[in-house]
Amino acid sequence: MENNRVSELEVLNNEFAEFLKSVPLNVREDLEFYFKRINDRLERVNHANIKQDKITESYPKVVDFSYDEVAASLSDLFENISSFMPEEKRVTKPTSIKEDIVEEEVIPEFITPEPADRIIEPEIEEEIAEPIVEEEKQPNVIRHEVIGIKSLKVNEPVQETKTVETEKVSEMGESKPEIDMATNSLDLDTSHVDSAFPGLSQEEKEFGMSSLSTPTDFITETNFSLSDLEDTYLSENKEPIVLKEAPQKPLDSIEPKSFEEEVKENSEDMVKQQIPIGFSLSEIAIALCGDPNGWYDIYEANKESFNKIILEKNNGSFDNIENDHDLFSGVPAVFPTVFLKEVPETRKTLT
Amino acid sequence: MFFTNNDIIELKDKNYIVQKVALIENEAYYEVQEIEKDTNELLYDKLIVKAVNDNSTLFIEEVHDHELLENVHAKLK
- Tens-place pLDDT, residues A160-177: 343 444 444 444 444 444
**Distances in whole angstroms, Cα of residue A57 to Cα of each of A44, A67, A142, A267:** 20, 21, 88, 145
Non-local CB neighbours of B9 within 8 Å, separated by 6+ positions:
A146, A149, B3, B15, B16, B17, B18, B32, B60
The Cα–Cα gap between B21 and B32 comes to: 9
Q: Do the chains contact at B62 and A149, CB–CB below 8 Å?
A: no
Task: Report residue B31's pLDDT band, with 50, 70 and 90 as the boundaries.
Answer: very high
Task: Report residue A325's pLDDT band, with 50, 70 and 90 as the boundaries.
Answer: confident
Tell me the residue length of chain B: 77
Q: Does B56 touch chain A (CB under 8 A)?
A: no
Classify the complex by whether its ipTM is higher than 0.85, answering yes or no: yes
Inter-residue contact B20 to B8 (CB < 8 Å):
no
pLDDT the model gives residue A183: 47
Q: Does B43 touch chain A (CB under 8 A)?
A: no
The Cα–Cα gap between A183 and A187 comes to: 9
Residues of chain B contacting A141 with CB distance shorter than 8 Å: 61-64
Inter-residue contact A314 to A258 (CB < 8 Å):
no
Q: Kindly state the helix (H) or strand (E) to which residue A42 belongs, with its residue range.
A: helix A25-58
Which one has a higher pLDDT value, A178 or B37? B37
Q: Is the pLDDT of residue A91 over 60?
A: no
As a whole number, mean pLDDT of residues A190-201 equals 64
The Cα–Cα gap between A17 and A60 comes to: 43
Inter-residue contact B15 to B35 (CB < 8 Å):
yes
Q: Does B3 touch chain A (CB under 8 A)?
A: yes
Candidates B54, B58, B67, partner chain A, best to mutate (most A CBs within 10 A):
B58
What three-state secondary structure class fits A170? coil
For residue B34, give the nearest of A141, A144, A164 by alpha carbon: A144
pTM of the model: 0.26
pLDDT the model gives residue A71: 73
Under 8 Å CB pairs connecting chains A and B tally to 66
Which one has a higher pLDDT value, A203 or B54? B54
φ, ψ of residue A35 in degrees (nearest 5)? -60, -40
pLDDT the model gives residue A173: 45
Q: Do the chains contact at A158 and B7, CB–CB below 8 Å?
A: no
Which one has a higher pLDDT value, A351 or A275? A275
For residue A338, give the nearest of A295, A289, A296 by alpha carbon: A289
As a whole number, mean pLDDT of residues A222-241 equals 59
| Percent over 90 (pLDDT), chain A | 0
As a whole number, mean pLDDT of residues A129-158 equals 66
Residue B64: closest C-alpha in chain A: A140
Q: Do the chains contact at B7 and A152, CB–CB below 8 Å?
A: yes
The Cα–Cα gap between A12 and A19 comes to: 10
What three-state secondary structure class fits A200? coil
Give the nearest partner residue to A159 out of B7, B10, B42, using CB atoms.
Answer: B42
Beta-carbon count within 10 A of A280 CB: 21
Q: Is the pLDDT of residue B59 over 80?
A: yes
Give the nearest partner residue to A150 out of B10, B61, B64, using CB atoms.
Answer: B10
Q: Do the chains contact at A146 and B65, CB–CB below 8 Å?
A: no
The Cα–Cα gap between A140 and B65 comes to: 7
As a whole number, mean pLDDT of residues B60-69 equals 89
pLDDT the model gives residue A179: 47
- Report which DSSP code applies to A97: S
